[in-house]
């Protein structure tokens, strides 16, 4: 009853309370991090239920991740009991899937339609581009795939798009044709891609008034968390469901009653423009900034008291975010006291950074009773988790990696290791099967089944049956050729290993000769770029292994990997002390932890390299830093490595500019400088062989015109039959080059040649990089 309802207001501040009890119309809650936005949403839902203003079926609550949805449902259950169960609390995507499964018939879809993930949709786009006979160099399927995704997020369908296309622009014309055929193929397969889920739901609601009315009658209360990260499609979805459709014929549509005289739903959105970090998925701050003009009757509530963090942490976060241009300044405060200073640490390498963190967690456990479950470690990109994971495994600290797969479970890492295992053991059927058609070489399921049958008939191993391909019954000529090619590939790699090549060399040969690396490098998909980074990481693991154990062969290396990978299986929460959480900053949005380590604070890591020359992207990185810092409740650690190995090679990186923004008095530096010895020695063996940079000093190098001559590998989207990049582009001191991420540069030193060539390249405003050329998207100009 109302007593229970009143209890829900206890402990809320006046602004929070106003938001919880608000009645009628739209409500916008904008506030900085940790000010109780999510808490207000949860309490509002509970309050609506407790006062009888809503039944559970009338509530639709949208969160940004499934994890956040589960948490919110749990929190509401704590407040109102088990009836919270049949309430719709979900992500945009899950809510749309639910609606579409119910309404599939209306759309002529099967209710068990498939949902294509990014990999599926890219494969489909590839087939479509082939069907249209498009030159993959001029019209890369991955680029088309990404563009189609963007178009869907903007609710632009193939017809709309075709109308905007210029007559003389072949890229756009082909894209329009590919988009149309791609959608047709999806339909024929009774499949929707990820972006379709939202767009199709919007179309459904717009095209079928009866359906729209059904959901408008049903959802009388719509609540959206993290509204700053909605894109155009999600924005329209909310409008349609709330019954405030955007109808150009009505001019500026007010929150008027719609056609059916059904009052609009009570829409509550909460967000923080400073935490908008999904621009790359089409999120637009516009949605929150212009909420008040989109919904003229909206009430706005500002929350200014932060309940999460100490004043020290808040001041640091405010100092970082306040440098962003064009933001609405906020006055966030806390009465929880200043708390301990932020601890800073400069490590020599990412390994040492990880070691420091592990020691610190251990020390906090002894001195302050901090449990592993109280601790989170953040990084900018997934590949950075590997060094952290290895140290945590070594010292026996239980941990979990949230979002993103653990390093040794990642597909590309598993594929690469499968190659190594199949090289080391020709009878390893499982790993042979894994790579038999990876990358695709035309050995399909049928061929595999025939090889299996042959091995059973002849009582030989699967591996032996592969080598005996000639005698496999029923194998089509094309498959036979492919299987023979695979057998030759493997025996060549085995010879290499037997001849004393190091594990890193065998790995390189496997990735090159199989075409695996070339295929990834030919792709435009950012995810594939991160796969290359992960392979470069694995290469670094192999190199380090050989440095620590020069006698170790491939078998020894695989044993070591197996042990590390196996300890990976530790159960998550095996005791109530919990486990350390590792995640990217993107995944950490909305969460909080008593102790937070933000790692890799280097210009070029965080902020990310590709943002350094772009003001808009830098602003997004700054918001990301703001999100990272504001996750911490009591203790915050900021660390960086003076030398970090990325793309397979150690790189010197300057301190993140975000650190410089934090007032000195908030920081307590445990270590301020790296040891210079580490900069020169360490894993940095040999140093550069500087071939006459001085001699040519000032010259702009050979005066070659800035025309692309060769572009080894990178521009060859040879999907089924990728050409291996057997050698790196050969460059010389003074050469001008271009790099996919860093732009134009000039080679200032070259170290060793051939497959392991390393060049030091000055990329101007992107800094000087030391790159292992075979792993780097570098083209000589």
CB of 66 to Mg ion, least distance (A): 15
DSSP letter, residue 35 = S
Binding site per annotation, positions = 31-38
By the rule CB under 5 A, 590 interacts with Mg ion: yes
How far is the C-alpha of 227 from the C-alpha of 285, rounded, in Å? 9
User: One of 38, 63, 122, 305 is an active-site residue; which one?
Assistant: 38
Residue 38 a catalytic site member: yes
Q: Which does 732 bind (CB under 5 to 8 A by kind): Mg ion, ligand ATP, none?
A: none
Q: Which does 541 bind (CB under 5 to 8 A by kind): Mg ion, ligand ATP, none?
A: none
Q: 140 vs 590, which CB is nearer to ligand ATP? A: 590
Binding mask 21-50 for Mg ion (x = CB under 5 A): ----------------xx------------
Residue nearest to ligand ATP according to CB distances in the complex = 36
CB of 363 to ligand ATP, least distance (A): 25
Q: Which does 508 bind (CB under 5 to 8 A by kind): Mg ion, ligand ATP, none?
A: none
Residue with tokens 């919270």: 84
Q: 48 vs 489, which CB is nearer to ligand ATP? A: 48
Q: 37 vs 386, which CB is nearer to ligand ATP? A: 37
How far is the C-alpha of 462 from the C-alpha of 705, rounded, in Å? 54
Q: Which does 308 bind (CB under 5 to 8 A by kind): ligand ATP, Mg ion, none?
A: ligand ATP
CB 325 within 8 A of CB 274: no
Burial class of residue 477, CB neighbours in 10 A (0-12, 13-18, 19+): exposed
User: One of 631, 633, 769, 770 is an active-site residue; which one?
Assistant: 631
Nearest residue to 375 via CA among 524, 597, 223: 597
Binding site per annotation, positions for ATP = 31-38
Compute CA 16 distance to the chain's CA centroid, rounded to the nearest angstrom: 33
User: One of 225, 415, 519, 602 is an active-site residue; which one?
Assistant: 225
How far is the C-alpha of 633 from the C-alpha of 314, rounded, in Å? 10
Residue 225 a catalytic site member: yes
Residue 723 a catalytic site member: no
Residues lying near ligand ATP in the complex (CB under 6 A):
11-13, 16, 31, 33-39, 272, 275, 307-308, 590, 592
Residue 37 a catalytic site member: yes
Q: 68 vs 490, which CB is nearer to ligand ATP? A: 68
DSSP letter, residue 595 = E
How, if at all, do strands 743-751 and 758-762 pair? antiparallel
CB of 225 to Mg ion, least distance (A): 6
User: One of 103, 193, 196, 226 is an active-site residue; which one?
Assistant: 226
CB of 650 to Mg ion, least distance (A): 38
Main-chain phi, psi angles of 309, to 5 degrees: -115, 165
Q: Which does 272 bind (CB under 5 to 8 A by kind): Mg ion, ligand ATP, none?
A: ligand ATP
Q: 141 vs 590, which CB is nearer to Mg ion? A: 590
Q: 27 vs 447, which CB is nearer to Mg ion? A: 27
CB 346 within 8 A of CB 674: yes
CB of 303 to ligand ATP, least distance (A): 7
Nearest residue to 652 via CA among 641, 667, 637: 641
How far is the C-alpha of 87 from the C-alpha of 441, rounded, in Å? 48
Which residues sit opposite 749 in a β-bridge? 760
Residue 732 a catalytic site member: no
How far is the C-alpha of 700 from the C-alpha of 746, rounded, in Å? 8
User: One of 16, 26, 234, 275 is an active-site residue; which one?
Assistant: 275
Q: Which does 34 bind (CB under 5 to 8 A by kind): Mg ion, ligand ATP, none?
A: ligand ATP
The half-sphere exposure of 719 on its side-chain side, counting CA atoms within 13 A, is 16
Compute CA 66 distance to the chain's CA centroid, rounded to the nearest angstrom: 16
Nearest residue to 381 via CA among 401, 398, 409: 401
The two three-digit tokens of residue 292, written as one number: 């008040």
Q: Which residues are catalytic?
A: 37-38, 225-226, 275, 631
Which residues lie near Mg ion (CB under 5 A)? 37-38, 590
């Amino acid at each position: 009853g109302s007593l229970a309802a009143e209890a829900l207001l206890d402990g809320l501040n006046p602004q929070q309370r106003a938001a919880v009890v608000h009645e009628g119309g739209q409500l916008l809650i904008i506030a900085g991090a940790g000010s109780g936005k999510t808490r207000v949403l949860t309490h509002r839902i509970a309050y609506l239920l407790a006062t009888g203003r809503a039944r559970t079926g009338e509530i639709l609550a949208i969160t940004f991740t499934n994890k956040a949805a589960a948490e919110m449902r749990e929190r509401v259950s704590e407040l109102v009991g088990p009836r919270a169960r049949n309430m719709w609390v979900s992500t945009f995507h899950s809510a749309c899937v639910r609606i579409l499964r119910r309404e599939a018939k209306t759309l002529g879809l099967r209710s068990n339609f498939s949902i294509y993930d990014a990999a599926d949709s890219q494969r489909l786009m590839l087939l479509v581009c082939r069907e249209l006979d498009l030159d993959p160099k001029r019209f890369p399927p991955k680029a088309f795939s990404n563009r189609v995704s963007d178009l869907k997020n903007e609710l632009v369908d193939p017809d709309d798009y075709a109308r905007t296309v210029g007559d003389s622009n072949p890229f756009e014309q082909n894209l329009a044709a590919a988009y149309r055929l791609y959608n047709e193929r999806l339909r024929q397969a009774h499949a929707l891609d990820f972006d379709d889920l939202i767009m199709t739901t919007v179309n459904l609601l717009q095209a079928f008034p009866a359906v729209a009315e059904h959901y408008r009658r049903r959802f009388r209360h719509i609540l959206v968390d993290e509204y700053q990260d909605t894109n155009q499609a999600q924005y329209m979805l909310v409008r349609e469901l709330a019954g405030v459709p955007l109808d150009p014929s009505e001019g500026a549509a007010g929150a008027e009653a719609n056609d059916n005289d059904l009052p609009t739903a009570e829409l509550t959105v909460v967000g923080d423009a400073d935490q908008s970090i999904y621009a790359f998925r089409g999120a637009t701050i516009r949605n929150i900034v212009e909420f008040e003009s989109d919904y003229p009757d909206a009430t706005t509530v500002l929350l200014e008291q932060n309940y999460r963090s100490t004043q020290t942490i808040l001041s640091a976060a405010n100092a970082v975010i306040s440098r962003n241009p064009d933001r609405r300044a906020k006055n966030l405060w806390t009465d929880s006291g200043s708390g301990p200073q932020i601890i800073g640490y400069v490590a020599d390498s990412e390994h040492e950074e990880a070691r420091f963190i592990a020691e610190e967690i251990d020390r906090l456990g002894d001195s302050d009773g901090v449990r592993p479950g109280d601790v989170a470690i953040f990084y900018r990109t997934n590949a950075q988790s590997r060094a952290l994971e290895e140290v945590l495994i070594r010292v026996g600290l239980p941990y979990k990696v949230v979002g993103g797969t653990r390093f040794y479970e990642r597909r590309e890492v598993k594929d690469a290791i499968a190659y190594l295992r199949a090289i080391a053991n020709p009878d390893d059927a499982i790993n042979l099967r894994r790579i038999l058609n990876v990358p695709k070489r035309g050995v399909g399921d049928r061929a595999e089944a025939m090889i299996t049958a042959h091995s059973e008939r002849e009582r030989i191993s699967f591996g032996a049956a592969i080598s005996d391909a000639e005698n496999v019954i029923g194998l089509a000529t094309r498959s036979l050729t492919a299987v023979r090619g695979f057998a030759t590939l493997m025996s060549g790699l085995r010879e290499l290993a037997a001849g004393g090549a190091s594990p890193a060399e065998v790995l390189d040969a496997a990735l090159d000769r199989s075409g695996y690396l070339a295929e990834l490098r030919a792709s435009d998909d950012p995810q594939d770029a991160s796969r290359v980074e992960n392979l470069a990481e694995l290469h670094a693991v192999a190199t380090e292994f050989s440095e620590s154990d020069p006698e170790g062969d491939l078998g020894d290396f695989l044993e070591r990997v197996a042990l590390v990978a196996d300890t990976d299986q530790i159960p998550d929460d095996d005791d109530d002390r919990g486990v350390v959480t590792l995640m990217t900053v993107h995944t950490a949005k909305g969460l909080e932890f008593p102790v937070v380590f933000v790692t890799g604070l280097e210009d070029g890591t965080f902020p990310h390299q590709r943002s350094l020359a772009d003001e808009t992207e830098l602003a997004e990185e700054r918001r990301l830093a703001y999100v990272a810092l504001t996750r911490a409740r009591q203790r915050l650690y900021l660390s960086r490595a003076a030398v970090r190995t990325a793309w397979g090679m150690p790189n010197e990186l300057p301190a993140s500019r975000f650190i410089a923004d934090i007032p000195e008095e908030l920081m307590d530096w445990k270590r301020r400088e790296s040891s210079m010895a580490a900069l020169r020695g360490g894993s940095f063996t040999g140093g550069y062989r500087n071939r006459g940079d001085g001699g040519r000093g000032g010259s702009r190098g050979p005066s070659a015109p800035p025309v692309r001559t060769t572009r080894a590998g990178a521009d060859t989207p040879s999907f089924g039959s990728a050409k291996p990049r057997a050698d790196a582009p050969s460059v010389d001191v003074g050469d001008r080059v271009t790099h996919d991420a860093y732009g134009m540069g000039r080679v200032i030193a070259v170290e060793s040649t051939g497959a392991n060539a390393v060049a030091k390249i000055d990329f101007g405003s992107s800094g000087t990089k030391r790159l292992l050329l075979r792993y780097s998207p570098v083209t000589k100009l």
